[in-house]
Amino acid sequence: MKKNIYHYFFILFVSVIGLSSCVQQKQIAYFQKSLGGSDTLAVAQAYIPKIQPGDILDIPIGSLNPVASSFFNPYSNVPVKTDNTTTPSSMSGATAPVSSPSLVQSSAPGYLVDANGNIEMPLVGTVKVAGLTTIAAKDTIKNRVKLFLKEPTVNVRLLNYKISVLGEVQRPSVYVIPNETITLPEALGLAGDMTIFGKRDNVLVIRDNNGKKEFGRIDLNSREVFSSPYYYLHANDVVYVEPSKGRIAQTDKTYQLLPIVISALSFISIIVVYSKR
Q: What is the pLDDT of residue 275?
A: 65
The answer to whether the CB of 198 falls within 8 A of the CB of 241 is: yes
Q: What is the mean pLDDT of residues 131-160?
A: 94
User: Of 21-25, 65-69, 82-86, which range is least confident?
Assistant: 82-86
Q: What is the pLDDT of residues 145-157, one digit of tens each?
A: 999 999 999 999 9
Q: What is the pLDDT of residue 252?
A: 52
Percentage of residues of the chain with pLDDT beyond 70: 64
Decide: residue 225, CB within 10 A, 0-12 exposed, 13-18 middle, 19+ buried: buried
Residue 136 reports pLDDT greater than 50: yes
Confidence band of 180 (pLDDT split at 50, 70, 90)? confident
Residue 121 reports pLDDT greater than 90: yes
Residue 102 reports pLDDT greater than 60: no
Question: What rounded mean pLDDT belongs to the chain?
Answer: 78
Report H helices in the chain.
2-28, 66-69, 134-145, 184-190, 245-251, 253-275
Q: What is the pLDDT of residue 204?
A: 96
User: Of 58-62, 93-97, 210-214, 267-271, which range is least confident?
Assistant: 93-97
The answer to whether the CB of 142 falls within 8 A of the CB of 127 is: no
Give the bridge partners for 158, in sequence order: 57
Q: What is the pLDDT of residue 91?
A: 34
Q: What is the mean pLDDT of residues 32-45?
A: 73
Residue 105: name the closest of 130, 75, 127 by CA.
Answer: 75
Decide: residue 239, CB within 10 A, 0-12 exposed, 13-18 middle, 19+ buried: buried
Residue 233: name the closest of 172, 166, 185, 178 by CA.
Answer: 185
The structural domains of the chain, ordered by start, are 31-46+161-243 (3.10.560.10), 56-158 (3.30.1950.10)
Residue 79 reports pLDDT greater than 80: no
Characterize the bridge pairing of strands 162-167 and 238-241.
parallel
Q: What is the pLDDT of residue 251?
A: 56
Q: What is the mean pLDDT of residues 131-140?
A: 96
CA distances from residue 113 to 170, 232, 237, 265 in whole angstroms, order as listed: 34, 24, 20, 68
Q: What is the pLDDT of residue 89?
A: 41
d(CA 17, CA 74): 66
Decide: residue 172, CB within 10 A, 0-12 exposed, 13-18 middle, 19+ buried: middle
Give the bridge partners for 61, in sequence order: 154
Q: What is the pLDDT of residue 216?
A: 95
Residue 240 reports pLDDT greater than 80: yes
Residues 133, 136, 138, 140: is their CA dihedral positive or negative? negative
The end-to-end CA distance of the chain, in Å, is: 11
The answer to whether the CB of 204 falls within 8 A of the CB of 131 is: no
d(CA 202, CA 217): 6
Q: Give ∠ CA 50-55-59 in degrees, rounded to 5.
A: 85
CB-based contacts of 261: which residues, under 8 Å, 6+ apart? none
d(CA 50, CA 271): 72
Confidence band of 239 (pLDDT split at 50, 70, 90)? very high
User: Of 9-13, 248-252, 272-276, which range is least confident?
Assistant: 9-13
Q: What is the pLDDT of residues 195-223, one digit of tens each?
A: 999 999 999 999 998 889 999 999 999 88
Residue 128: name the closest of 146, 147, 144 by CA.
Answer: 144
